[in-house]
């Protein structure tokens, strides 16, 4: 069995894994359910959504990780070691992987490259602002968001680093890590630099062919492996772009919204969907833990939960 541990508000992301065509048994637990459980099922545990936890809950999750590990169970994503969004972007820049840098707004540091945009820690809603081209414009935008109630400590300044793959078409790439397996995700194409959900009808056939090769062969896998290592992520999806042919990492999502596509007018993309699903399910089977006797809980003494 494999247990995905998620925040209650985002427990929907992996419901597709409860379907009848999944080759292993999967269970979804919220952090509260895991921490308050009276017994511990023998399973592989996958911690997700660490960036959405409060510092106290993150500490409890890290304690639970260690208790599970001490019982000899396989556990992915150590909450005590996973980087924050800002920490990951800064470390990737210092490592020479990303050409762009990121700053906390409260640092009051002048970005070295323009334009920039604002993001926040702990959400996956995309940029908060349009592209900002000057220090004055940046400060006015920060002040406006703080006035509206956005905590200054949550605001990140990110240097822009994207490049269209065709005139007017931006492509976001993705790649998964699950245990020792790494495999490509299908692409997201938009007619805007914020490539988040994708837009149908704008992708030329040759880009579906390119996507198929990417999903089949994972050519960018070696380039993104170091980002997973730096982030401390053993399960998740990295989102990245290509700028002058070089991988630029935007974020790593430990709780990606899982879906296995099966409805698209392009037969090439349908085949890409099929390949990705096969890779994902193979990796899922590889981290499975056979059923066995439960272990006495709880993970955390009740006075600490």
According to CATH, the topology of domain 2-82 is Rossmann fold (3.40.50)
Residue 23, token pair as written in the block: 């080759």
φ, ψ for residue 11, nearest 5 deg: -80, -5
Q: Where are the domains of the chain?
A: 2-82, 101-159, 170-286
Per-residue pLDDT tens digits for 179-213: 999 999 999 999 999 888 888 889 999 999 999 99
What token pair was written down for 232? Answer: 């401390």
Closest CA to 159 of 119, 108, 196: 119
Pairing of strands 39-40, 295-296: antiparallel
Residue 179 near residue 287 (C-beta atoms within 8 A): yes
At a CB cut-off of 8 Å and minimum separation 6, what does 155 contact? Answer: 104, 105, 106, 118, 119, 120, 128, 142, 145, 146
| Tokens read off for 196 | 């988040």
What top-level class would CATH report for the domain 101-159?
A: alpha beta
CATH architecture of the region 170-286: 2-Layer Sandwich (3.30)
Count the residues in the chain. 305
The model's pLDDT over 215-264, given as tens digits with 9 standing for 90+, comes to 999 999 999 999 999 999 999 999 999 999 999 999 999 999 999 988 88
- 281 Rama sector, left if φ>0, alpha if ψ -120 to 50, beta otherwise: alpha
- The reply to whether domains 101-159 and 170-286 share a CATH topology is no
Which stretches of the chain drop beneath a pLDDT of 50?
Answer: 303-305
> For the whole model, what pTM was predicted?
0.93
């Amino acid at each position: 069995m494999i247990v995905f541990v998620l925040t209650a508000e985002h427990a929907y992301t992996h419901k597709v894994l409860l379907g009848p065509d999944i080759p292993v048994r999967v269970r979804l637990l919220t952090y509260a359910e895991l921490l308050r459980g009276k017994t511990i099922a023998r399973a592989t545990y996958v911690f997700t959504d660490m960036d959405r936890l409060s510092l106290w809950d993150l500490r409890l999750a890290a304690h639970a990780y260690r208790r599970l590990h001490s019982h000899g169970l396989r556990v992915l994503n150590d909450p005590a070691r996973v980087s924050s969004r800002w920490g990951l972007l800064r470390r990737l820049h210092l490592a020479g992987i990303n050409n762009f840098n990121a700053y906390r707004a409260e640092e009051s540091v002048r970005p070295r490259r323009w334009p920039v945009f604002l993001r926040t820690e702990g959400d996956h809603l995309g940029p908060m602002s349009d592209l900002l081209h000057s220090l004055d414009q940046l400060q006015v935008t920060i002040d406006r968001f703080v006035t509206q109630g956005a905590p200054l400590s949550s605001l990140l300044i990110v240097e822009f680093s994207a490049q269209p793959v065709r005139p007017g078409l931006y492509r976001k790439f993705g790649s998964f890590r699950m245990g020792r397996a790494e495999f490509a995700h299908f692409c997201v194409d938009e007619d805007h630099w914020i490539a988040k959900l994708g837009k149908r009808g704008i992708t030329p056939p040759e880009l579906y062919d390119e996507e198929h090769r990417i999903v089949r062969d994972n050519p960018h896998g070696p380039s993104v492996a170091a980002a997973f290592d730096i982030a401390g992520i053993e399960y998740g999806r990295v989102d990245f772009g290509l700028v002058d042919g070089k991988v630029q990492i935007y974020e790593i999502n430990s709780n990606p919204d899982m879906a296995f596509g099966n409805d698209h007018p392009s037969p090439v993309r349908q085949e890409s969907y099929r390949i990705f699903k096969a890779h994902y399910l193979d990796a899922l089977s590889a981290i499975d833990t056979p059923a066995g006797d439960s272990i006495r809980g709880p993970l955390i003494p009740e006075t600490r939960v």
